[in-house]
Amino acid sequence: MSSLRADPSSSRVHPAPLLVDHFDRLPDPLLLLIFNRIADVKALGRCGVVSRRFRQLVPQVDAVLVRVDCVISDDESASPAALSDKARNPFASFFQAFLGNIVKPLQALGLFSGAKRAQLGPSSSSSSSLAVGSERDGEMDQGGVTHHSPTQVLKNFNEIRFLRIELPSGELGIDGGILLKWRADFGSTLDNCVILGASSVVQSGPVKNLVGSENGTDAGCANDDNGSIPESFYTNGGLKLRVVWTISSLIAASARHYLLQPIIAEHKTLDSLVLTDADGQGVLCMNREQLEELRVKPLSASSASKRTLVPALNMRLWYAPHLELPDGVVLKGATLVAIRPSEQSGLKDMADGSWISTAFEEPYGTAARMLVKRRTYCLEMNSF
């Protein structure tokens, strides 16, 4: 009898191919480089739940962006419509804006409540808070979003060097057509502030043969500078409007500075801190030396208004009734104000316009460089 033999090759068991996670092949420094490019704190939070390795690496990120989704008010008398009106129209009531409405939207940075979820109901106590929204574990507030303060969001990041916080909008509500931008640098107090405003902005068309706009002449400016302040500067409410611009911008900047103290104290690795807004209205900047100065020197603050006290100031003002930029943008009633504390500002310091001309992005950087070539007006302001 012949015996049947099974073919060994047909009975061989082939193991299933192993799945390879290609992220495991990437070294930690490369992953950290990717996470630093992501920067957005919400996206980093999502990365942290992908794997145990990601969860360990995300807190080591050194560049973080926090976008504040909303300003939550627990004031019983504040309806959403009323809050919107206050936030967007402070010029309608200047003196109220001077002491209250400009500062209030930022007070949340001093009212961070850790992991406590924001209460939106009418039973809450009177306060305001900034909130970063997220969906988490099915646990949600109104609108399906759980709110956390920036301090709470940042608490697990222990190596932040570059921090950027973006508010949902500027604090200073302005009428349609008005341009208002400011940039302020702070240490333990105000180092400098530059404000650019215009009563209206008109888009015409690219200006051809604009000779001298960048080489020291007044091309693009209406030539009415006869040694005195042009009449258009102080008629039809123009002077009052520029006083509002200056004081309101300084209050907004000092409020941001005061309310950033908890973050600065907690994150000692910071090299740069920027607090801006989605409208591009105001930018507060602090470098490493300024951050360290704030930690070392006592802060002069107004506890009642929740802001850093503004010291006595020297100001330089430039004005052009009509300023035409090379890209065709026309600024009417263009005003540039450069501000330094009186104890720091000297003629030589003010004459060095590098910190003024680089304060704004284009096309407004060009506007600043054109304005500083015009006649300079000197002003002083007491501490407030």
Q: What is the mean pLDDT of residues 65-81?
A: 60
For residue 21, the model assigns a pLDDT of 74
- Kindly report the average pLDDT of the chain as a whole number: 76
pLDDT value at position 226?
A: 56
Total of domains in the chain:
1
**Residue 287, in any domain of the structure:** yes
Span 13-20, average pLDDT: 68
Percent of the chain with pLDDT over 70: 66
Q: pLDDT category, 350, cuts 50, 70, 90?
A: low
100 or 286, higher pLDDT = 286
Q: Which of 110, 296, 303, 289 is nearest to 185 (CA)?
A: 289
pLDDT value at residue 205: 64
Say if 122 falls within a structural domain.
no
Taking only the tens place, the pLDDT of each residue in 31-61 is 999 999 999 999 999 999 999 999 999 999 9
Look at residue 382 in the predicted model and tell me its pLDDT.
93
Residue 106 forms part of a structural domain: no
Asked if residue 375 belongs to a domain, the reply is: yes
User: Poorest-confidence range of 66-75, 83-92, 175-184, 278-287?
Assistant: 83-92
- pLDDT-derived band at 293, boundaries 50, 70, 90: very high
Is 217 within the bounds of a domain? no
Structural domain range at position 372: 170-204+229-381
pLDDT (mean) for 164-184 = 88
Q: Could you tell me the pLDDT band of residue 300, with boundaries at 50, 70 and 90?
A: confident
Please check whether residue 38 lies inside any domain of the structure. no
219, pLDDT greater than 60: no
Q: Check residues 132 and 256 and name the one with the higher pLDDT.
A: 256
Residue 378 reports pLDDT greater than 80: yes
Give residue 370's pLDDT.
Answer: 95
113 vs 75 pLDDT, higher one: 75
**pTM score, whole prediction:** 0.74
The verdict on residue 141 lying in a domain is no
Confidence of residue 126 (pLDDT cuts 50, 70, 90): very low
- Gap between the Cα atoms of 58 and 50, Å rounded: 11
Three-state SS sequence of the chain: CCCCCCCCCCCCCCCCCCCCCHHHHCCHHHHHHHHHHHCEHHHHHHHHCCCHHHHHHHHHCCEEEEECCEEEECCCCCCHHHHHHHHHCHHHHHHHHHHHHCCHHHHHHHCCCCCCCCCCCCCCCCCEEEEEEECCCCCCCHHHCEEECHHHHHCCCCCCCEEEEEECCCCCCCCCCCEEEEEEEECCCEEEEEEEEECEEEECCCCCCCCCCCCCCCCCECCCCCCCCCHHHHCCCHHHHHHHHHHHHHHHHHHHHHHCHHHHHHCCCCCEEEEEECCCCEEEEEEHHHHHHHHHCCCCEECCCCEECCCCEEEEEEEEEEEECCCCEEEEEEEEEEEEECCCCCHHHHHCCHHHHCCCCCCHHHHHHHHCCCCCEEEEECCC
Quote the pLDDT of residue 151.
78
Q: According to the model, what pLDDT value does residue 170 have? A: 86
- Residue with the bigger pLDDT between 331 and 136: it is 331
Residue 62 lies in a domain: no
Cis bond upstream, residue 27 (ω within 30): no
Q: Is the pLDDT of residue 344 over 70?
A: yes
Lowest mean pLDDT among 98-107, 205-214, 254-263: 98-107
Weakest-pLDDT range from 69-78, 145-154, 197-206, 308-317: 69-78
